Amino acid sequence: MAMLDVDFRVDTSKSVDEIVPEDLPAEEVPGFLSRLKAQPYLDELRENEVLITADTVVILNGKVIGKPRNEADAHRILTELAGHVHQVITGVTICHYGKTPETFSEVTEVEFDSLTKEEITYYVNKYQPLDKAGAYGIQEWIGAAAVKGIKGSFYNVMGLPIHRLYTALKD
Protein backbone atom coordinates (compact mmCIF):
# COMPACT_ATOMS: atom_id res chain seq x y z
CA MET A 1 0.00 0.00 0.00
CA ALA A 2 2.87 2.37 0.75
CA MET A 3 3.97 2.03 -2.89
CA LEU A 4 0.68 3.62 -3.97
CA ASP A 5 1.41 6.79 -1.94
CA VAL A 6 -1.92 6.68 -0.14
CA ASP A 7 -2.52 7.19 3.55
CA PHE A 8 -3.44 3.94 5.26
CA ARG A 9 -3.27 2.15 8.54
CA VAL A 10 -3.20 -1.53 9.33
CA ASP A 11 -5.68 -2.79 11.91
CA THR A 12 -5.54 -6.41 12.97
CA SER A 13 -7.37 -5.93 16.25
CA LYS A 14 -10.38 -7.99 15.22
CA SER A 15 -10.05 -11.63 14.31
CA VAL A 16 -12.43 -14.09 12.76
CA ASP A 17 -12.62 -17.84 12.76
CA GLU A 18 -11.48 -18.76 9.28
CA ILE A 19 -13.96 -21.57 8.85
CA VAL A 20 -14.61 -22.34 5.20
CA PRO A 21 -17.58 -24.39 3.96
CA GLU A 22 -16.31 -27.84 2.98
CA ASP A 23 -18.01 -27.72 -0.43
CA LEU A 24 -16.51 -24.34 -1.40
CA PRO A 25 -14.26 -24.68 -4.47
CA ALA A 26 -10.60 -23.99 -3.68
CA GLU A 27 -10.40 -20.95 -5.99
CA GLU A 28 -13.30 -19.28 -4.11
CA VAL A 29 -11.70 -19.65 -0.64
CA PRO A 30 -9.63 -16.42 -0.68
CA GLY A 31 -12.59 -14.24 -1.70
CA PHE A 32 -14.76 -15.87 0.95
CA LEU A 33 -12.10 -15.27 3.61
CA SER A 34 -11.50 -11.66 2.59
CA ARG A 35 -15.26 -10.96 2.94
CA LEU A 36 -15.28 -12.75 6.28
CA LYS A 37 -12.37 -10.62 7.53
CA ALA A 38 -14.24 -7.41 6.61
CA GLN A 39 -17.34 -8.20 8.68
CA PRO A 40 -16.11 -7.16 12.16
CA TYR A 41 -14.98 -3.75 10.87
CA LEU A 42 -18.06 -2.71 8.87
CA ASP A 43 -19.93 -1.10 11.78
CA GLU A 44 -16.94 1.16 12.47
CA LEU A 45 -16.44 2.28 8.86
CA ARG A 46 -16.79 6.05 8.44
CA GLU A 47 -17.90 8.05 5.41
CA ASN A 48 -14.39 9.13 4.42
CA GLU A 49 -12.80 5.69 4.86
CA VAL A 50 -12.23 2.66 2.67
CA LEU A 51 -11.77 -0.75 4.24
CA ILE A 52 -9.61 -3.26 2.38
CA THR A 53 -9.29 -6.85 3.55
CA ALA A 54 -7.45 -9.67 1.82
CA ASP A 55 -6.55 -13.32 2.09
CA THR A 56 -4.03 -15.30 0.07
CA VAL A 57 -3.97 -19.05 -0.49
CA VAL A 58 -1.72 -21.39 -2.41
CA ILE A 59 -3.41 -24.10 -4.47
CA LEU A 60 -1.66 -27.19 -5.77
CA ASN A 61 -3.59 -29.79 -7.76
CA GLY A 62 -6.92 -28.26 -6.70
CA LYS A 63 -6.09 -28.40 -2.99
CA VAL A 64 -5.67 -25.37 -0.73
CA ILE A 65 -2.31 -25.30 1.00
CA GLY A 66 -2.45 -23.02 3.99
CA LYS A 67 0.17 -21.82 6.39
CA PRO A 68 2.39 -24.53 7.85
CA ARG A 69 1.60 -25.70 11.38
CA ASN A 70 5.28 -26.15 12.24
CA GLU A 71 8.70 -26.59 10.63
CA ALA A 72 8.03 -30.20 9.66
CA ASP A 73 4.84 -29.12 7.89
CA ALA A 74 6.78 -26.35 6.08
CA HIS A 75 9.23 -29.02 4.84
CA ARG A 76 6.32 -31.16 3.64
CA ILE A 77 4.65 -28.27 1.82
CA LEU A 78 7.83 -27.09 0.09
CA THR A 79 8.62 -30.66 -0.94
CA GLU A 80 5.16 -30.85 -2.57
CA LEU A 81 5.61 -27.51 -4.36
CA ALA A 82 9.13 -28.28 -5.62
CA GLY A 83 9.20 -29.07 -9.32
CA HIS A 84 5.55 -28.09 -9.86
CA VAL A 85 3.37 -25.19 -10.93
CA HIS A 86 0.94 -23.92 -8.32
CA GLN A 87 -1.54 -21.07 -8.11
CA VAL A 88 -1.47 -18.21 -5.67
CA ILE A 89 -4.89 -16.60 -5.32
CA THR A 90 -5.58 -13.49 -3.31
CA GLY A 91 -9.12 -12.42 -2.57
CA VAL A 92 -9.59 -8.72 -1.88
CA THR A 93 -12.69 -7.06 -0.47
CA ILE A 94 -13.17 -3.30 -0.73
CA CYS A 95 -15.78 -1.65 1.48
CA HIS A 96 -17.05 1.92 1.22
CA TYR A 97 -19.37 3.48 3.77
CA GLY A 98 -23.00 2.82 2.84
CA LYS A 99 -22.19 0.65 -0.19
CA THR A 100 -22.19 -3.07 -0.82
CA PRO A 101 -18.68 -4.51 -0.43
CA GLU A 102 -16.95 -5.56 -3.66
CA THR A 103 -14.71 -8.61 -3.87
CA PHE A 104 -12.29 -9.73 -6.55
CA SER A 105 -9.66 -12.44 -6.76
CA GLU A 106 -6.31 -12.34 -8.54
CA VAL A 107 -4.61 -15.52 -9.75
CA THR A 108 -0.88 -15.94 -10.32
CA GLU A 109 0.82 -19.13 -11.47
CA VAL A 110 4.20 -19.88 -9.92
CA GLU A 111 6.57 -22.57 -11.18
CA PHE A 112 9.05 -23.94 -8.68
CA ASP A 113 12.25 -25.66 -9.74
CA SER A 114 13.19 -28.82 -7.91
CA LEU A 115 14.62 -28.32 -4.43
CA THR A 116 16.90 -30.58 -2.45
CA LYS A 117 16.12 -31.53 1.13
CA GLU A 118 19.13 -29.44 2.18
CA GLU A 119 17.84 -26.36 0.32
CA ILE A 120 14.42 -26.71 1.95
CA THR A 121 16.04 -27.12 5.38
CA TYR A 122 18.21 -24.06 4.79
CA TYR A 123 15.21 -21.94 3.81
CA VAL A 124 12.95 -23.09 6.63
CA ASN A 125 15.67 -22.68 9.26
CA LYS A 126 16.83 -19.27 8.09
CA TYR A 127 13.52 -17.64 7.07
CA GLN A 128 11.00 -19.36 9.37
CA PRO A 129 8.11 -19.16 6.84
CA LEU A 130 5.49 -20.42 9.29
CA ASP A 131 3.28 -17.35 8.81
CA LYS A 132 3.09 -17.65 5.02
CA ALA A 133 0.60 -19.41 2.79
CA GLY A 134 2.44 -22.19 1.00
CA ALA A 135 5.34 -21.91 3.48
CA TYR A 136 7.28 -19.39 1.41
CA GLY A 137 7.78 -15.73 0.68
CA ILE A 138 8.67 -15.04 -2.94
CA GLN A 139 10.60 -11.93 -1.89
CA GLU A 140 12.98 -14.10 0.16
CA TRP A 141 15.85 -16.42 -0.80
CA ILE A 142 13.51 -19.09 -2.14
CA GLY A 143 12.08 -16.66 -4.70
CA ALA A 144 15.50 -16.17 -6.26
CA ALA A 145 16.65 -19.76 -5.86
CA ALA A 146 13.55 -21.77 -6.70
CA VAL A 147 10.99 -19.72 -8.63
CA LYS A 148 11.55 -20.78 -12.22
CA GLY A 149 8.70 -18.75 -13.66
CA ILE A 150 5.73 -16.62 -12.79
CA LYS A 151 2.62 -15.81 -14.79
CA GLY A 152 0.70 -12.93 -13.31
CA SER A 153 1.28 -10.42 -10.55
CA PHE A 154 4.45 -10.72 -8.47
CA TYR A 155 2.84 -8.60 -5.75
CA ASN A 156 -0.09 -10.98 -5.63
CA VAL A 157 2.30 -13.73 -4.58
CA MET A 158 3.55 -11.40 -1.84
CA GLY A 159 -0.05 -11.15 -0.62
CA LEU A 160 -1.70 -8.13 -2.25
CA PRO A 161 -2.27 -7.60 -5.99
CA ILE A 162 -1.32 -3.91 -5.90
CA HIS A 163 -2.02 -3.06 -9.55
CA ARG A 164 -5.47 -4.66 -9.54
CA LEU A 165 -6.27 -2.99 -6.20
CA TYR A 166 -5.15 0.39 -7.51
CA THR A 167 -7.33 -0.02 -10.59
CA ALA A 168 -10.32 -1.04 -8.45
CA LEU A 169 -9.84 1.94 -6.15
CA LYS A 170 -9.70 4.32 -9.12
CA ASP A 171 -12.97 2.88 -10.42
Phi and psi angles of residue 81, each rounded to the nearest 5 degrees, phi first: -75, -30
Please list, in sequence order, all residues whose beta carbon lies within 8 angstroms of the beta carbon of residue 61, skipping any fewer than 6 positions away: none
E strand map for the chain? 50-60, 63-65, 85-96, 102-112, 147-151
pTM of the model: 0.93
Q: Which residues pair with 108 in a beta bridge?
A: 88
Confidence at residue 171, expressed as pLDDT on a 0 to 100 scale: 83
Confidence at residue 145, expressed as pLDDT on a 0 to 100 scale: 96
Per-residue pLDDT tens, the chain, 171 aa: give them: 888 898 899 999 998 999 999 999 999 999 999 999 999 999 999 998 999 999 999 999 999 998 999 999 999 999 999 999 999 999 999 999 989 999 999 999 999 999 999 999 999 999 999 999 999 999 999 999 999 999 999 999 999 999 999 999 988
Residues 101 and 44 sit within 8 Å (Cβ to Cβ): no
Confidence at residue 127, expressed as pLDDT on a 0 to 100 scale: 97
Which of 55, 113, 131, 171 is an active site residue?
55
Residues 108 and 152 sit within 8 Å (Cβ to Cβ): yes
Confidence at residue 14, expressed as pLDDT on a 0 to 100 scale: 92
Confidence at residue 74, expressed as pLDDT on a 0 to 100 scale: 98
Catalytic: 11?
Answer: no
